[in-house]
Amino acid sequence: MPITNSKSSPLTQSPSAPDVARLDHISLRYGRGPEILSDVSLRLRPGSFTFLTGQSGAGKSSLLKLLYLNLTPSSGLISLFGQDTSVMDGIDQQEIKRRIGIVLQDFQLIDHLNVMENVSLPLRVAGLDPASVQDDVVELLQWVGLGDRLHARPQTLSGGEKQRVAIARAVIAKPDLLIADEPTGNVDAKIGQRLIRLFTEMNRLGTTVLIATHDIDLIRDNDSDIIRLQYGSLHHGLTA
C-alpha cells in the first residue's frame, strides 16, 4: 500500500491536482549489487511537508536521487507533477528539474563563483538577468545569515555557511518541490531552526517539501508527515 502524506498547507492545490511526486513499486539496485530500495511506493501531495528518516545506508539519498531524476529505478514508475518520467526526453527532464530545488549533503557549490553568483545560478539558467534578481538574492542571503558573505568564495566558507548557500540556491527560484538531504547537519541549533522556518514559510506559500534527516529532535519539533526507510522499505512514523 502506498504511503501518502495527507497534511497540506492552506495554499495547497485542489484535491484533484496531480501528486507532486509519485513512486509506484520502485526497486533500485546499483549494477548487480543488492537491492537498495525494494517495492517502494510513495505519494507526495501538493503542499505537503514530509520528513524522511532512517539509518545511514537505509537508502534515503538514493530515494532522493530518484526523485530529482539523478537516478533511474531498476523497476517501477516515477511520476513528477503528473508526468511519467520514464517517457520523458532530456528536454522535458530538465524542465521538470527547474521546478525542483535540491540541497545535497556535499553542497555542490561552484568554487570560482562567489556566494551571490552560486545562489543566482538557477535564475541565470532560467534566462533571467543576474542584475535584475540581485536584490532578491541579497535579501535571501541576509535571511539565512549570510548578508556579510555575499562576495566570499565557497572555499573560504565554513561547512554551515556552505550549507546555507546551498539552501539559498535551492529555494531562490521558488521551486514547486524542495528536496533537502540533511539540511541542518552542519549548522548549530539556532541556524537550524531558522532554516526550518524558511522551509516552513516556503511550504506555507505552496512549495512541497521533503527533508531527509537523522535529527529526531528536529522532526519532533515539527508537526509534519514522517516516513522512515528501513531495510529498503518505507514505513509511516518514527518507529515500527
Partner 1 sequence: MNMPVKPAPILPRNSLADRPLLIVMSIMAFMASLALLLTSMSNRASTDWQSELKESATVQIYLTDNAQRGEAVARAMSILSGIDNLKATPISDAEARALISPWIGEVDLPDNLPLPAMIAVDKQGGDIFDSRGLKIALENEGLTVDVDDHSAWSGRIARAATAVRIGTSLVLILLLAGSIAATGFATQSAMAVHRKVVKVLTQVGAQDRYVAQLFTQQFFFIGAIAGGIGIIGAFIFTFFISLLFGGGGTSLLPALKFSFSDLIYILLIPLLFGVVSAIAAGLTSLQVLKADRRSS
Q: Is 17 a residue that touches partner 1 (CB under 8 A)?
A: no
Among 1, 14, 33, 91, binds partner 1 (CB under 8 A): 91
* Closest to partner 1 by CB, 46 or 154: 154
Q: Is 71 a residue that touches partner 1 (CB under 8 A)?
A: yes
Closest CA to 45 of 21, 80, 79: 21
Q: Is 131 a residue that touches partner 1 (CB under 8 A)?
A: yes
Q: Is 121 a residue that touches partner 1 (CB under 8 A)?
A: yes
93 contacts 45 by C-beta, under 8 angstroms: no
238 contacts 221 by C-beta, under 8 angstroms: no
Q: Is 207 a residue that touches partner 1 (CB under 8 A)?
A: no
Q: Is 138 a residue that touches partner 1 (CB under 8 A)?
A: yes
Q: How far apart are the first and last CA of the chain?
A: 16
230 contacts 240 by C-beta, under 8 angstroms: yes
Sort 146 into a burial class: Cβ within 10 Å, 0-12 / 13-18 / 19+: buried
Closest CA to 12 of 218, 152, 206, 223: 206
Q: Is 156 helix (H, G, I), strand (E, B) or coil?
A: helix
Q: Is 87 a residue that touches partner 1 (CB under 8 A)?
A: no
Q: Is 219 a residue that touches partner 1 (CB under 8 A)?
A: no
> Pattern 27-66, binding to partner 1, x per CB under 8 A?
----------------------------------------
Phi, psi of 171, deg, nearest 5: -105, -10
* Closest to partner 1 by CB, 55 or 94: 94
> Pattern 156-175, binding to partner 1, x per CB under 8 A?
-------------x---x--
Of 36-44, 54-62, 134-142, 192-200, the window that binds partner 1 (rule: CB under 8 A) is 134-142
* Residue 227 burial (CB count, 10 A): 24
Task: Extract the C-alpha cell encoding 2.
Answer: 502506498
Return the DSSP state at 19.
P
- Contact set with partner 1 (CB under 8 A): 68, 70-72, 90-91, 93-100, 102, 108-114, 116-117, 120-122, 124-126, 130-131, 134-135, 138, 150, 169, 173
